[in-house]
Chains A and B, each alone.
Chain A
């Protein structure tokens, strides 16, 4: 079965502290994994995809097939990073999301 788990509903960190948003997945084939972000009153938008292996807004995510994880990391959180973050998994056609983690960066 195709499944995405984000165990934390809310993560609060202080500005300048490291951030790690957890994502675990279940999929029998070779998945394509993504992180999406939704800022207040804005449309859901793509942040990262694992095949790109890039850093966007200081965020990175590495696919760990052994642990079936795709955690999102940033070494130094900024207040503007406060948003809702969703991990997503794409199979051949289905595209499913985790329940999301709200990140609050405190001044």
Chain B
């Protein structure tokens, strides 16, 4: 069966520090991968999606970037965090069907 792992579960980082959130999928090949930010009253905002290794589509120009170095690995990064980057980040995958979500990372930038 397919599983998705996302870590860390919580993260507190100072302003200006770098960020790396990782997501891996098991049990499937060539999935579409997604990063979302979930905020109260704003729903799930699509940040990035990827349909293959090295292919990244950005939906919201901002302080974040994404990479897909391997088929089932998706990384969300920032060189310098801003206060406004605080939020709940969700990774998800799909293969011809609905999305399957990870447990999310609660990021607090202080």
Interface, chain A (partner B; CB < 8 A): 6, 9, 34, 36, 43-46, 49, 86, 88, 93-100
How many residues on the B side are at the interface (Cβ–Cβ under 8 A)? 22
A29–B101 CA distance with the chains assembled, in angstroms: 26
Q: Which residue of A lies closest to B45 (CB)?
A: A97
Interface, chain B (partner A; CB < 8 A): 32, 34, 36, 41-44, 46, 49, 51, 57, 59, 90, 92, 94, 97-99, 101-104
A36–B94 CA distance with the chains assembled, in angstroms: 14
Contacts of A98 in B (CB 8 A): 43
A-B pairs with lowest CB-CB distance, top 9: A99-B43, A97-B44, A46-B98, A44-B101, A100-B43, A97-B43, A93-B51, A96-B46, A43-B101
Contacts of A86 in B (CB 8 A): 43-44
Contacts of B32 in A (CB 8 A): 93, 95
A16–B41 CA distance with the chains assembled, in angstroms: 27
Q: Which residue of A lies closest to B36 (CB)?
A: A97
Find out whether the CB atom of A95 lies under 8 angstroms from the CB atom of B34: yes
A97–B51 CA distance with the chains assembled, in angstroms: 19
A45–B101 CA distance with the chains assembled, in angstroms: 7
Contacts of B97 in A (CB 8 A): 49
